[in-house]
C-alpha cells in the first residue's frame, strides 16, 4: 500500500472520529433520560433544574395569599428546580396602601406580586413610577428566552391593554417592568358560566306567578317588589322578608339592580358614549339623579333594606342563608350560599342603551409581578415563573403530588384521588393543607398563573371535574335557565383600554381621581338624603368638583387616545 492510500485512510478515520464526537456532544447537550423516562441534564440534574437557591416573594394581595406551604410539595419543587420558594403576604387591610408603602421603603424581596386587572388600576402608576426611577429589572430579554412567557411576544396573543398599557408601554421603548398574568391561551376561554345580577327567591316568584327573566326594567322591578311587600312572605325564622336585600358580599353600589339608570361604562368607571359618540361622565348626564330618585322611593316605601349600601358581608350572607331577603341585590350562580338554587336570576335589567347584551373582553389579566433591581440573578425568577406556567409546573401547583393526590390515566392526564375529593368536600380547611390549587392553595399562581387552558392541558375543565360531573350541576342549571349559551353567542367581544387607564399621565390625575371617588361617595349620600332637593345639591357639588379637577380635559385626552389603534378604548 503506497503513501497516498495510507494518507486517505488516516484522513477518513479522523473525519469519522470527529463526527462521532460531535454526535456524542449533541446527545450530552440535549440531556439523557433516567430510568423513569424523565429528562436529565449532563450533570444528573433534572431538565427542569434552575438553580440551588431560595427565592422570596412579597405578595400585595392581603388575605388572598396562603403563606403556608406544604413541606412535601415544596420538597418536590426543590427536587425539580433546585428552588426553595417562600411567599409572604402583606398584613395591611388595603393592598394598594401596602404596595405604596413597600415601594417607598425600597426594602423588597426577590419578586413582588400585586393586583392588576388592567392598566387603569392605581397599582399600575405606582409600578410605572418605580420603574422610571430604576427600581425594577427590564424583564423583556429574559422573557424572550422562555417556553411559555415568550408567547407574550407573539402577535395577537396579548390583549391591547396588556401589550401596550401594562407590559410594553411605548414610554419604555420595549422594556418590560411588569408581567401580567391570569391570561388564557385562547380568547374567550373560561371554565365557568357566570350569571351575575339580582336574584329572587324561587318560591316567592312562583307564588306570585312571575317569570323573573321577564323583569328587564326598573319600572317592572318596582312593581314586583310592591307585590312582594303586599304578599307577607316570611323568612326561616317566621319574620317578614325585606323585598330587596344587599348584594351577597355586603353593602355596595353595583349597577345590575338598576342598570337602566346607570351611566356605568366599562368596569363601572362612569365614562360612556352618548348616541352621537361623545364621551361623557355620569355627572354630565341625568342618570345619577334618576337613580337617586328611584332608590329614595324604594327606601322610603320600605322596599329596600335600609342598610343595603352599608351592611357587612357576614350579616348579608347570614340574611341570605335565613331567606330574609326576597331579592338579593347581586350574586352569581356559583356562590356556596345558593347551592340548592332556591334563588334564581332576575332579568337581566336592560342598559341605558337598550336591551341587554353580554359584553366580553378579548382577554383580560388579573395579577402581575415584578423583580426589584436588588435581586441577584433575576433570570432565575423568570425561569421559575416559566416552569410554573408550563404544564409540568401547573401539574405540581394545581394538582399536587402524583401518588399522593392524583394518579395519571392512560393519556397522562391527572385523576385526583377520591380521598382527596372527599376531604375537600367534608373538611376544606384540612384539604387546603395538602398545599395545591385544587384544594385552595394556589401558591404557583403568583408567578406562573397564565396561559390557562386546563381542558387542553389536563383533560378536564377544572380540578376533579371529570370525577364529579355534578359538582357544578346547580350553577349550570341556572346558566341554562338564563340562556347563557345563547347570550354568549351574541356577546360583543371588545379589546382596548379602560377609561381610567391614562389617569397617570394626566396632569391633574390625582385631583381627578379624588373627585371621581368623591362622586361615588356623593351618590350614596344622595340615596339617604332627606329629599330630592337635598340630593340634587349633593350631586351638583360633586359634579362641580369634577369639572374643577379637569374632567373635560381628561375626556379630550381619551378622545385623542382612541384615535390610535394601540390605545383605543373599550367603550
Q: Are residues 350 and 214 in the same domain?
A: yes
Of 501, 263, 483, the C-alpha closest to 361 is 501
Residue 18: band (very low, low, confident or very high) from pLDDT cuts 50, 70, 90 = very low
In a domain, 164, yes or no: yes
Place of cell 343595603: 308
Mean pLDDT within 106-122: 91
551, pLDDT greater than 80: yes
Domain boundary among 438, 458, 478: 458
Share of residues in the chain with pLDDT > 90 (%): 76
Mean pLDDT within 490-509: 88
Write down the pLDDT at residue 78.
98
Q: Are residues 227 and 347 in the same domain?
A: yes
In a domain, 28, yes or no: no
Write down the pLDDT at residue 504.
80
Place of cell 318596582: 222
In a domain, 268, yes or no: yes
Q: Are residues 415 and 517 in the same domain?
A: no
Write down the pLDDT at residue 180.
98
| Model confidence pLDDT, tens digit, residues 392-445 | 999 999 999 999 999 999 999 999 999 999 999 899 999 999 999 999 999 999
Share of residues in the chain with pLDDT > 70 (%): 91
More confident: 36 or 236: 236
Residue 92: band (very low, low, confident or very high) from pLDDT cuts 50, 70, 90 = low
| Model confidence pLDDT, tens digit, residues 457-473 | 999 988 998 888 777 88
More confident: 339 or 526: 526
157, pLDDT greater than 80: yes
The values of phi and psi at residue 83, to 5°, are: -95, 135
Domain boundary among 458, 481, 506: 458
The b-or-e profile of 250-263 (16+ CB within 10 A means b, else e) is bbbbbbbbbbbbbb
Of 108, 539, 52, 70, the C-alpha closest to 289 is 539
Report the distance separating Cα 277 and Cα 266, nearest Å: 15
309, pLDDT greater than 80: yes
Residue 214: band (very low, low, confident or very high) from pLDDT cuts 50, 70, 90 = very high
Write down the pLDDT at residue 38.
54
Write down the pLDDT at residue 380.
98
Domain boundary among 458, 484, 517: 458
For residue 200, the surrounding DSSP H or E stretch is strand 196-201
Write down the pLDDT at residue 39.
67
Write down the pLDDT at residue 27.
39
Q: Which bin fits 212, alpha (ψ -120 to 50), beta or left (φ > 0)?
A: alpha
Place of cell 398563573: 449
Q: Are residues 135 and 181 in the same domain?
A: yes
Q: Are residues 398 and 371 in the same domain?
A: yes
Write down the pLDDT at residue 32.
47
Q: Are residues 376 and 433 in the same domain?
A: yes
In a domain, 7, yes or no: no
339, pLDDT greater than 90: no
| Model confidence pLDDT, tens digit, residues 168-209 | 998 899 999 999 999 999 887 666 789 999 999 999 999 999
Q: Are residues 201 and 227 in the same domain?
A: yes
Mean pLDDT within 127-150: 97
529, pLDDT greater than 80: yes
Are 479 and 193 a contacting pair, CB within 8 Å? Answer: yes
Q: Are residues 159 and 297 in the same domain?
A: no
Q: Are residues 204 and 343 in the same domain?
A: yes
For residue 159, the surrounding DSSP H or E stretch is none
Write down the pLDDT at residue 24.
39
37, pLDDT greater than 60: no
Residue 365: band (very low, low, confident or very high) from pLDDT cuts 50, 70, 90 = confident
Calculate the average pLDDT of the chain. 90
Q: Are residues 350 and 426 in the same domain?
A: no
Name the DSSP class of 501: G
Name the DSSP class of 404: T
In a domain, 23, yes or no: no
In a domain, 399, yes or no: yes
Write down the pLDDT at residue 201.
98
A 10 A CB-CB count for 275 gives: 6
Domain range holding 551?
196-361+496-567
Report the distance separating Cα 438 and Cα 435, nearest Å: 9
In a domain, 394, yes or no: yes
Write down the pLDDT at residue 15.
40
Question: Of 63-72, 109-118, 353-362, 536-545, which range is least confident?
Answer: 63-72
Write down the pLDDT at residue 17.
43
In a domain, 40, yes or no: no
Structural domain count, the chain = 2
Cut 0.85: pTM above it? no
Query: At 240, which CATH number?
Result: 3.40.190.10
Residue 326: band (very low, low, confident or very high) from pLDDT cuts 50, 70, 90 = very high
Q: Are residues 321 and 375 in the same domain?
A: no
What's the burial of 492, exposed, middle or buried (CB within 10 Å: 0-12/13-18/19+)? exposed
Report the distance separating Cα 276 and Cα 110, nearest Å: 50
Q: Are residues 222 and 353 in the same domain?
A: yes
Amino acid at each position: 500500500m503506497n503513501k497516498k492510500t495510507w494518507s486517505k485512510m488516516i484522513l477518513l478515520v479522523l473525519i469519522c472520529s470527529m463526527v462521532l464526537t460531535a454526535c456524542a456532544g449533541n446527545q450530552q447537550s440535549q440531556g439523557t433520560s433516567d430510568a423513569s423516562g424523565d429528562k436529565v441534564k449532563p450533570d444528573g440534574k433534572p431538565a427542569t433544574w434552575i438553580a440551588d437557591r431560595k427565592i422570596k416573594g412579597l405578595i400585595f394581595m392581603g388575605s388572598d395569599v396562603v403563606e403556608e406551604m406544604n413541606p412535601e410539595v415544596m420538597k418536590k419543587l426543590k427536587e425539580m428546580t433546585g428552588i426553595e420558594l417562600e411567599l409572604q403576604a402583606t398584613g395591611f387591610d388595603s393592598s394598594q396602601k401596602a404596595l405604596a408603602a413597600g415601594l417607598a421603603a425600597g426594602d423588597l424581596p426577590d419578586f413582588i406580586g400585586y393586583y392588576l386587572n388592567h392598566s387603569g388600576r392605581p397599582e399600575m402608576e405606582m409600578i410605572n413610577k418605580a420603574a422610571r426611577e430604576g427600581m425594577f429589572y427590564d424583564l423583556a430579554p429574559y422573557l424572550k428566552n422562555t417556553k411559555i412567557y415568550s408567547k407574550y411576544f407573539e402577535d395577537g396573543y396579548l390583549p391591547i391593554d396588556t401589550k401596550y398599557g401594562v407590559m410594553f408601554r411605548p414610554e419604555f421603548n420595549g422594556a418590560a417592568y411588569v408581567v401580567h398574568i391570569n391570561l388564557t391561551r385562547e380568547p374567550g376561554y373560561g371554565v365557568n358560566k357566570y350569571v351575575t345580577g339580582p336574584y329572587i327567591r324561587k318560591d316567592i316568584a312562583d307564588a306570585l306567578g312571575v317569570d323573573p327573566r321577564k323583569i328587564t326594567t326598573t319600572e317592572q322591578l318596582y312593581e314586583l317588589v310592591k307585590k312582594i311587600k303586599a304578599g307577607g312572605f316570611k323568612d326561616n325564622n317566621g319574620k317578614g322578608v325585606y323585598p330587596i336585600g344587599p348584594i351577597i358580599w355586603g353593602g355596595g353600589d353595583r349597577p345590575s339592580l338598576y342598570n337602566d339608570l346607570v351611566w356605568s361604562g366599562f368596569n363601572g368607571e362612569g365614562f360612556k358614549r352618548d348616541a352621537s359618540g361623545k364621551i361623557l361622565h355620569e355627572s354630565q348626564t341625568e342618570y345619577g339623579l334618576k337613580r337617586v330618585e328611584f332608590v329614595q322611593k324604594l327606601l322610603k316605601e320600605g322596599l329596600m333594606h335600609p342598610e343595603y349600601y352599608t351592611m357587612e358581608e357576614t350579616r348579608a350572607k347570614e340574611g341570605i342563608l335565613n331567606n330574609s331577603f326576597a331579592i338579593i341585590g347581586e350574586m352569581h350562580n356559583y356562590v356556596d350560599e345558593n347551592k340548592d338554587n332556591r334563588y334564581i336570576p332576575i332579568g337581566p335589567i336592560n342598559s341605558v342603551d337598550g336591551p341587554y347584551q353580554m359584553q366580553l373582553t378579548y382577554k383580560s389579566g388579573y395579577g402581575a409581578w415584578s423583580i426589584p433591581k436588588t435581586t441577584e440573578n433575576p433570570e432565575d425568577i423568570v425561569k421559575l415563573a416559566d416552569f410554573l406556567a408550563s404544564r409540568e409546573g401547573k401539574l405540581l401547583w394545581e394538582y399536587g403530588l402524583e401518588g399522593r393526590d392524583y394518579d395519571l390515566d392512560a393519556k397522562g392526564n391527572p385523576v385526583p384521588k377520591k380521598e382527596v375529593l372527599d376531604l375537600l368536600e367534608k373538611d376544606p380547611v384540612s384539604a387546603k393543607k395538602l398545599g395545591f390549587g385544587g384544594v385552595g392553595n394556589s401558591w404557583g399562581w403568583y408567578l406562573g398563573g397564565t396561559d390557562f387552558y386546563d381542558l387542553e392541558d389536563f383533560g378536564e375543565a377544572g380540578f376533579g371535574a371529570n370525577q364529579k360531573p355534578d359538582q357544578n350541576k346547580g350553577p349550570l342549571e341556572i346558566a341554562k335557565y338564563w340562556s347563557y349559551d345563547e347570550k354568549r353567542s351574541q356577546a360583543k367581544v371588545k379589546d382596548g383600554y379602560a377609561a381610567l387607564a391614562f389617569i397617570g399621565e394626566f396632569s391633574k390625575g390625582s385631583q381627578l381621581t379624588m373627585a371621581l371617588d368623591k362622586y361615588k361617595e356623593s351618590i350614596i349620600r344622595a340615596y339617604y338624603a332627606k329629599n330630592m332637593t337635598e340630593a340634587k345639591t349633593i350631586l351638583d357639588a360633586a359634579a362641580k368638583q369634577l369639572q374643577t379637577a379637569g374632567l373635560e380635559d381628561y375626556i379630550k385626552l381619551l378622545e385623542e387616545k382612541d384615535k390610535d389603534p394601540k390605545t383605543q378604548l373599550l367603550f
